[in-house]
Structure 1
Amino acid sequence: MKKTVLLLLVSILFVSCWLPNDPNDFPGQEYQPVIITRSALETSIAFQNAQPIVKSGKIYIKGDLMFINDVNKGFHVYDYTNPSKPERLYFIKAPGATDLAVKGNTMYINQAVDLVTATFDPATRIFKVTNRNKNVFPQKQAPNGFQGYTKENEIIIDWNLKK
């Protein structure tokens, strides 16, 4: 019995030598998390000029505006007055964002782990973040379901294939 326990302990010691230094770098894990600090996340939302869609996600239509999510990047805003020919207007940069809801002029954005409230007035083109509820959602998982590890005040905003 003592030999079995000793053999088991020695085996565990040898196996622990093979563990990676980076907890997100397990053998066979094909994705690497994209991590930013809490302070960077909180200042990352920006109203920008229109740009091409890289990876489209959900679509939301509110009145004459259409919002198309660029997965984990932000939202493209289109003039939807002519549904057969939407016109690209703006891009709302929101790293880690995957979803949006709109009520009146208030937008609710799922940005990584936070729920962000913002107002947007299309007539004046004024976009303003008004509130941030921190850590409402869990950290993002890799496409294969892998759960990443972060330090305090680090947020996973996306996952990339390892090179």
Structure 2
Amino acid sequence: MKKNLFAIIMLFLLQSCWYNEVEDDFVRMDAYQPITQSRADFEKTMELTAERQVVNSGKIYIKDELIYLNEKGEGFHIIDNSDPENPKPLAFLRIPLSTDLAIRNNTIYVHHAVDLVAFNYSVVNNSLNILHREKNVFPALRSPEGWDAENYEIPEDHIVIGYEEVN
């Protein structure tokens, strides 16, 4: 009896090792290829531009009389809220692949793809002063199938800024 019980238990344990031809969840790694940009060009993409219309809003941050409204993956709208009844758009801070922002004292920290950037914004001059860029703090953008960027042959001095479908 013990031998039969042992055989049945072993049969159930080894069942997962059996070859199965059905590949329901198979995902091709070559379905997408990364779009990259040189680090030098990537770092120039963070810039202050003219105000623009909000299209795909995200989180809202408030510091003193300024509102920072995230435009998902594109940057932040900077809005003067000194008169809450009549907020005035000041500028758009273009930061491709930005997802988050934090403010401490007068320093603003943003997630810029793989980097963490610290900067100041001056309302008076409507200017941006980058204080520090900590490179490669965050993981690179994953492919739509969930593959890490490290699975692709990406030059060391390049940043993954997106993926395109391979035909």
Q: When the two structures are superposed, what TM-score results if normalisation uses the length of structure 1?
A: 0.71
Q: What's the C-alpha RMSD, in Å, of the aligned pairs? A: 2.5
Q: Which position in structure 2 is the counterpart of 1:55?
A: 56
Q: Which residues of structure 2 form unaligned runs of 5+?
A: 1-27
1:162 positional shift: 7.2
Secondary structure of 1:26's aligned partner: helix
Distance across 2 between alignment mates of 1:53 and 1:160 = 26
Q: When the two structures are superposed, what TM-score results if normalisation uses the length of structure 2?
A: 0.70
Residue of structure 2 aligned with 1:155, choices 128, 152, 159: 159
Distance across 1 between alignment mates of 2:53 and 2:123 = 20
Distance across 1 between alignment mates of 2:141 and 2:62 = 26
Q: Contact 1:60–1:66 (CA<8 Å) still a contact in 2?
A: yes
Distance across 1 between alignment mates of 2:57 and 2:114 = 20
Q: Which position in structure 1 is the counterpart of 2:30?
A: 26
Matched, 1:118 2:119: yes
1:79 positional shift: 1.2
Distance across 2 between alignment mates of 1:56 and 1:161 = 26
Specify the code of the residue in structure 2 equivalent to 1:147.
Answer: D
Distance across 1 between alignment mates of 2:140 and 2:44 = 18
Q: Which position in structure 2 is the counterpart of 1:94?
A: 95
Q: Contact 1:96–1:158 (CA<8 Å) still a contact in 2?
A: no
- What is the total number of aligned residue pairs between the two structures? 137
**Offset from partner CA, 1:16-65 (integer Å, 9 cap, x none):** xxxx9xxxx623x5xx5442111111222111110123322222111111
Question: Sequence identity, in percent?
Answer: 34
Q: Which position in structure 1 is the counterpart of 2:146?
A: 145
Matched, 1:129 2:133: no
